[in-house]
Amino acid sequence: MSKKPIGIFDSGIGGTSIFKEIHALLPNENCFYLADSKNAPYGDKSKDQILQLSIKNTEYLIAKECKIIVVACNTATTNAINYLRENYNIPFIGIEPAIKPAALNTQTKAVGILATKGTLSSQLFHKTTDLYASGIKVIEQVGEGIVPLIEEDKVGTKEMLLLLEKYLEPMLKQNIDYLVLGCTHYPYLIPMLTKMLPSTVKIIDSGLAVAKQTQSVLSAHNLLNDSEAKPNINLFSNGNVAVLNSILDHKFNASFLEF
């Protein structure tokens, strides 16, 4: 069982920011990644649509005999992970905006969060915010339009710069000192964001934390792969494979798959 792959899915290519952390931390592990780019963005969809897509991806990964599923998507996690955990007998790892460390460490008592509409409107997000960020100003911003641009390989473009300027302005006016990236596509914007933000603003991205959590859950279930063999890394997109390969710097040979 330990040689079975880690299954990872996202609405598209963003979850590769999580896949990269997992592969770096657990280089022996076989991985099976699904980019549901045909249906991206999930962030503008209804809770039920997000749930149905998450079920479809989960069942595909279970059919591929994955030993654990990483929901490498904040939108799918915040809207569907409770249902998935209750209905499928396999460990799930999710990703949620890291409000807690930002709220605990802010000096200015103001933090910014950039995420999708689906994530910011979810009950799970509100629960976490109420729990950890009472007394802190949380400036929520829907990153409308960002995911489609990333899916079109337009990360460093003028169009992206203009969107980011618009979204950061209200946060900077409120004097944030933390910016929480609440979508797995957004770590690809860090080089741009670092140039745009004053040095007093720290960016929080939870990719490494998700990889560590995957490691610890695999270990607890005795599922870590101790084989020294070269791992099988299978990455698939039901949309534009060229963009998936490009975001991975052509280091892995991703393929098209209808799912």
Contact call for residues 55 and 79 (beta carbons, < 8 A): no
Which of 11, 79, 129, 206 binds ligand DGL (CB under 6 A)? It is: 11
CB of 199 to ligand DGL, least distance (A): 26
Q: How far is Cα of residue 156 from the mean position of the Cα atoms in its chain?
A: 19
Which of 73, 80, 204, 235 binds ligand DGL (CB under 6 A)? It is: 73
Q: Where are the beta strands (DSSP E) in 94-252?
A: 110-115, 137-142, 178-182, 202-204, 233-237
Per-residue buried b or exposed e for 155-171, using 16+ beta carbons within 10 Å of the residue's own CB:
beeeebeebbeebbeeb
Query: Cβ closer to ligand DGL: 16 or 225?
Result: 16
Over the window 105 to 124, marking each residue x when it contacts ligand DGL by CB under 6 A and - when it does not, the resulting string is -----------x--x-----
Assess 75 for contact with ligand DGL (CB under 6 A).
yes
- CB atoms < 10 A from the CB of 214, how many? 24
Contact call for residues 235 and 248 (beta carbons, < 8 A): yes
For residues 110 and 102, give the distance between their C-alpha atoms in angstroms, rounded to a whole number. Answer: 9
Restricting to residues 168-197, which ones interact with ligand DGL according to CB under 6 A? 183-185
Query: Cβ closer to ligand DGL: 164 or 225?
Result: 164
Query: Cβ closer to ligand DGL: 70 or 183?
Result: 183
Query: Cβ closer to ligand DGL: 225 or 245?
Result: 245
In degrees and rounded to multiples of 5, residue 181 shows phi and psi of -90, 110
Stretch that binds ligand DGL, among 41-49, 126-134, 166-174, 225-233 (CB under 6 A): 41-49
Total residues at interface with ligand DGL (CB under 6 A): 17
